[in-house]
Structure 1
Amino acid sequence: MSIDLHTHSWFSDGTKSPKELVRQASNSGVTAIAITDHDTMDGVEEALAASTEFGVEVVPGLEISVMHQGKALHILGYSMDSANHELAQALATLQEARDGRNNEIIAKLQGLGINATALELKEISGVGQTGRPHIAKLLMNHGMVRSIPQAFDEYLKKDAKAYVPRFAYSAEDAIALITGAGGLAVLAHPVQVDKTLSFLSTLLPVLKSYGLEGIEAYYPTQSKKMRKRINRFAIENDLLLTGGSDYHGDIRPGTRLAGGNNVYVPPELLEKMKERLAAKA
């Protein structure tokens, strides 16, 4: 049995509904799942409602993109009160910034002679947030690219033809928002920031001083050797270990929820998170 504390639904850039993720977890033998959509908790209520139906524990979560000393980081939050006023306001600000960025990207594409519209984009994204993966699909629909990676390479990544920088909170502010709403803040997939992991020796003490409580050690692209090194850093900084698949559904072919031949995340990690939350209460 495995748990999966890092998944995305169609409320951000995933392709599955929260209920479908919970159902899929049940069918895959995943005993607990966290819905960690980007900059929103809108899918948590649906997932919680499906918890009893499918016999899977659901952990409220989200993932916030932040900047720290010029580096882009992702901070996962767990077990926050979604009704917390400061958190809700901050997430609304992020949504407004995301919408503005999308409009700027569309304007750049139109300037390049691509007849794309905001209405088309919303039809692609559906009920959830709209972001660059949806714009990539829009470019595919217009025959400008053959794949999502090509769309990012030619139009959407930094220094590409239609790139627009995003608004982001600082790591300190994001961690404060999560902890202020009663949650645990965790550094996501450190390997994506630095494949050598050498930055952790200086980064983690700083993030710990902001209120960081954990680090994502179990992740599909983090080897057993990497996990051992992350574990040493976690012990040095009194940080919890977490893990998850970063499952997005069909948008990333070949990926799946935790367990099986994918990343395995020990259930006892969630129990330790609960103990830390109880100690903070």
Structure 2
Amino acid sequence: MAVQPADAVDLHLHTLASDGAWTPAALVDQLVAEGIRVAAVCDHDTQRSVLETMRRAERRGIHIIPGVEITTNWRDRQWHLLVYGIRPDRADEAAAPFRAVLAELDARLAWLGEDARQRFERSGRKLTSLEEIVGGRPLWPYHVLRAAIREGHAANLKTAAELTRQLGGGFNADLPLARVVEAAHQAGGLCVVAHPGRGDTVGVMTEADLEAMLAAGIAIDGLEGHYRSYTDQQTAEYREMAVRHGLLISCGSDSHAAKQPVDPKPWRAIWCADLLRRLGLEVAPLPDGEPVWEAGMPLATKPEPPPDAGSEAGVATNGAEPAATERHTYY
């Protein structure tokens, strides 16, 4: 696929396969509305929505990069790792270690979800809304937390998580960062540290953190240098940090649902051109003398949708569309 420098891309999107509320159909409709030509579905610890979204997007002229945001740990700290470029239907030997990573995460999360459910109910806290919230998906701890909030056992995800811990349960299935990076690389994937400048989740990544990670032999490929909450100063810092260490730069909104916390954002393709090229896309160069990025530079311009843009709503490509749940609080 050929991409122009000012074409819109968003390489960090979630669906109802993890903690989002976008269905593949609704997400594709929103990408069309935003004029986004290239996007990546990166649900937490699963790729269940990737193929469905790819099929729907292809009909609308949008290229979907297969991705996943894997919860990892390193040095007693959680790190979110965006892995790009590995399709979930890969059956070849090179992808076997990565398939094993996802399978282990799935099994751990299923066990933790059932364990949390039982702990809440044994404590006398009923979760009558849990089946509705799960909506036919695998039961994960996140769904138990949501049910606890709806039933009035907790005010928000933070307090629901604290209550889960008090009851002796857990909700994280982190895997070692080094193992995930190695498995992804064996399958030909690219590994990008998600939202390194966001301090309200797993903490800010400093340059010292990055240097220690690389010195330990954890060969990450890039940093999410453009993110929904960054100031221009943060964007400049992480772009420069990536350049100093020869790393790729990614751009992502981390959208989980409509306005939750934001809609997909039309980042300029040239801002993450090297990453897109490594993923097999052709990105045209800028004219000589034009800066790739500078403070105050606007997002890509949203084009007028074609009159026959249509909608994915109600169009099934692989059985019935999963029912959307309530608006979720997001990672």
Q: TM-score range by the shorter chain?
A: 0.7 to 0.9
CA offsets per residue over residues 207-239 of structure 1, 9 Å max, x none? Answer: 7x3231110011112211011111121112110
Residue-by-residue CA offset, 1:25-60 (whole Å, 9 max, x unaligned) = 011111111000111112111111112222211111
Query: Aligned equivalents of 1:139 and 1:210: distance in 2?
Result: 38
What are the equivalent positions in structure 2 for 1:200-211 lying under 5 Å apart? 200-206=209-215, 209-211=217-219
Q: Is the aligned partner of 1:8 residue 2:28?
A: no
Gaps of 5+ in 2: 1-6, 281-331
Distance 2:57 2:236 in 1: 33
Q: Is the 8 A contact 2:146 2:157 kept in 1?
A: no
2:176 counterpart residue number: 170
- Greater alpha carbon shift after TM alignment, 153-162 vs 14-23: 153-162
Structure 1 residue 121: Cα displacement: 2.7
1:247 and 2:255 equivalent? yes
Residues 127 and 61 of structure 1, relative CA distance in 2, 3 Å threshold: farther
Structure 1 residues 204, 268: closer, same or farther in 2, change over 3 A? farther
Q: Is the contact made by 1:155 and 1:161 (CA closer than 8 Å) also made in structure 2?
A: no
What residue is the counterpart of 2:114 in the other structure? 103
Give unpaired runs (5+ residues) of structure 1. Answer: 260-264
Residues 146-174 of structure 1: CA deviation (Å, up to 9, x unaligned): xxxx2323231488534515232111111
Q: Which residue of 2 aligns with 1:194?
A: 203
Residue in structure 2 matched with residue 273 of structure 1 by the alignment? 275
Sequence identity percentage: 22
Deviations 1:82-105 (A, max 9, x none): 222222222111111001111221
- Mapped partners of 1:73, 1:55: distance in 2: 33
* SS of residue paired to 2:263: coil
Matching residue of 1:161: 166
Partner of 1:217: 225
TM-score, length-scaled by structure 2: 0.73
Aligned residue number for residue 256 of structure 1: 263
Aligned amino acid, residue 91 of structure 1: L
- For residues 45 and 228 of structure 1, what CA distance do their matches in structure 2 show? 34
Q: Partner residue of 2:302? A: none
Partner of 2:104: 93
From 207, 227, 231, the counterpart of 2:239: 231
Contact 1:10 1:128 in 2 (8 A): no
Matches within 5 A, 1:71-150: 71-82=77-88, 83=90, 84-116=95-127, 120-145=129-154, 150=155
Q: Measured at CA, do residues 81 and 160 of structure 1 come closer, stay the same or move farther in structure 2, by a change above 3 Å?
A: closer
Query: Quick check: 49-58 or 235-244, which moved more?
Result: 49-58
Out of 32, 35, 39, which is 2:41 matched to?
35
List per-residue Cα deviations over 1:121-148 (Å, max 9, x = no partner). Answer: 3431224454344223312332334xxx
Is residue 80–residue 181 contact of structure 1 (8 Å, CA) maintained in 2? Answer: yes
Equivalent position of 2:286 in the other structure:
none
Moved more, 130-139 or 25-34: 130-139
On the 8 A contact 2:112/2:141 being kept in 1, the answer is no
The 3-state SS of whatever aligns with 2:197 is helix
- State the alpha-carbon separation in 1 of the partners of residues 205 and 45 from structure 2: 27
Structure number with greater CO (CA < 8 Å, separation at least 6) is 2
Q: Equivalents in 1 of 2:41, 2:159: separation in Å? A: 31
Higher-Rg member (1/2): 2
Q: CA deviation at 1:112?
A: 2.8
- In the alignment, the residues of structure 2 paired with residue 254 and residue 205 of structure 1 have an alpha-carbon distance, to the nearest angstrom, of 32
Give the CA RMSD over aligned residues. 2.4
Question: Residues 255 and 264 of structure 2 are in contact (CA less than 8 Å); yes or no, is this contact kept in structure 1?
Answer: yes
Counterpart Cα distance in 2 of 1:159 and 1:121: 15
CA distance in 1, matches of 2:13, 2:29: 13
Q: Does structure 2 retain, via aligned residues, the 8 Å contact 1:12–1:129?
A: no
Change (3 A) 1:69 1:126: same
Does the CA-based 8 Å contact 2:255-2:261 persist in structure 1? no
Deviation at 1:188, TM superposition (A): 0.4
Number of the residue aligned with 2:157: 152
The one-letter code sitting in structure 2 at the alignment partner of 1:151 is: N
Report the equivalent of 1:262: none
Summarize deviations over 1:174-220 as a string: whole Å, max 9, x none: 1112111111110000123434735445345247x323111001111
